[in-house]
Amino acid sequence: MRAVVQRVSKASVEVEGRVLARIERGLVVLLAIAKDDAQADIDYMVDKITNLRIFEREGKFDLSVKDVGGEILLISQFTLYGDTKKGRRPSFTDAAPPIVAKELYEIALKKFGDAIQTKGGEFQAHMSVNIVNDGPVTIIIDSKRNL
């Protein structure tokens, strides 16, 4: 599982001009699910991201999204597994097939929601994600490199 985590002052996600979800201070998590991901990857990501100290106190990254009473906007984004080593078109062979990815995304959405206020996008929809990155602060996390 791979995530791009952005600290935001606000963010929203739209499908066909309709706002699905909106958050204020918190994190936008762009989440990609690999073909070999499992429950352990979800558990790792939920724990790591909800407790990641990337909010400032006295000029230092010392607080988590939980500590600041923030929210998470979780967006499925298989393109994080785009492999550009060969040719000019990315290959997505490492990404989970849609039926598997959807199930794991929905489990992740619930698990994040159990830990902190979490909203999500629409799986496999063409989404417009509006992000006001705060800092900017952007962190990349890969469960396979850390498990």
* DSSP code at position 96: P
Residue 117 annotated among the catalytic residues of the structure: no
Count the helices and strands in the chain (H runs, E runs). Answer: 3, 8
Q: Which of 6, 50, 77, 118 is catalytic?
A: 77
* Contact status, residue 20 vs residue 73, Cβ threshold 8 Å: no
Q: Which of 55, 78, 112, 118 is catalytic?
A: 78
Residue 77 annotated among the catalytic residues of the structure: yes
* Contact status, residue 117 vs residue 73, Cβ threshold 8 Å: no
Residue 50 annotated among the catalytic residues of the structure: no
CB under 8 Å to 71, separation ≥6 — which residues?
23, 24, 25, 26, 27, 65, 116, 117, 118, 119
List the catalytic residues: 77-79
